[in-house]
Amino acid sequence: MTRKIIIDTDPGQDDAVALLLALASPEELDILGIVAVAGNVGLAQNARNALKIVELSGRTEVPVHAGCERPMRRKLVTAEHVHGPTGLDGPDLPEPQKKLEDKHGVDYIIDTLRTEPPGTVTLCTLGPLTNVAMALVKAPDIAPRIREIVMMAGAYFEVGNITPAAEFNVYVDPEAADVVLTSGVPITMIPLDVTHGVLSLSHRLEGFARIGNRCGKAVSEMLNFSERFDMEKYGNEGAPLHDPCVIAWLLKPDLFDGRKINVTIETTSELTRGMTVADYWRITDRPKNVLYLRSADDDAFYALLTERLARLP
């Protein structure tokens, strides 16, 4: 039984790898659509990058929508220092022939959730939560219709990556993260605590290049570009690979472990804005609103990724 998903994303090289993993897995995942959000770079560029990745995969039937251009309340913060000015630096991918859909991404999320049978659509978020939060604010009736939200977001034991306290996706739009985490929708959160345990070590990147297809080559070039910043920052032999963990959770949840806890978002302090305050030891009686994943089997994760990328052109 395939699982219907909408992927909300700000491609970024790691988002691109997550998209390719999903596009390579049609037996398990029915990608209803992809929605771009402002984050790693500006919205227009992220949307263009999503079109490029869909074309690279050969799955040009998958629709791509553009969503919100900026966070709900704050000025947009981007990450060209990690992803390069295009957001997808590394490979030289052709300009996309495929066009964006006319419908705004927030309306696409709302309309799809209202049309599909309740409880059958999973939202996979790989960037700031602006689009999903705006959909919940504009159409509160969709909340009980969402099967699950699986998000790459947050950090607790690994602390922040854009500030000492906050992970980038939550930092960019903390109000959106707060709207989503208090929505009552079932949430699986994949934080830096997980992604910092799945490092793109050189033999793993070489494994992608050795696949011998255009997607393996592009992934190797993307990650060789984007990892340089994190390797410098963390001093590891490889960079964390964030967003593909969301798709890997859907494909092989047994690779991960975690627990149901409360996670609350800091939205007022400027010092700790965007911090995901995770009650991991269940000290408070705050509602357990999140399945918070803490670790993953990194060898199995990369074996899955390599095997699936080999299915693409």
Token code pair at residue 7 = 């992927």
Active site residue 196: no
In the beta sheet, which residues pair with residue 36? Answer: 9, 66
Query: CA 31: distance to chain centroid?
Result: 14
Choice from 8, 25, 35, 40 touching ligand RIB (CB under 6 A) = 40
Choice from 22, 126, 135, 265 touching Ca ion (CB under 5 A) = 126
Determine, following the binding rule CB under 6 A, whether residue 167 of this chain makes contact with ligand RIB: yes
Binding mask 126-155 for ligand RIB (x = CB under 6 A): xx------------------------x---
Choose from ligand RIB, Ca ion, none: what does 168 bind? Cβ within 5-8 Å by kind.
ligand RIB
Token code pair at residue 288 = 């357990």
| Residue closer to ligand RIB (CB basis): 8 or 279 | 8
Element (H, E) at 260: strand 256-261
Residue 168 beta carbon to Ca ion: minimum distance, rounded to whole angstroms: 8
Determine, following the binding rule CB under 6 A, whether residue 78 of this chain makes contact with ligand RIB: no
Q: How far apart are CA 290 and CA 118, in angstroms?
A: 20
Dihedral pair phi/psi, residue 161, rounded to 5°: -120, -15
Catalytic residue among 65, 83, 196, 242: 242
Count Cβ atoms within 10 A of the Cβ of residue 160 and give its class: 0-12 exposed, 13-18 middle, 19 or more buried.
buried
Active site residues: 242
Could you list the residues that contact ligand RIB (CB under 6 A)?
10, 12, 14-15, 39-40, 126-127, 152, 161, 167-169, 242-243
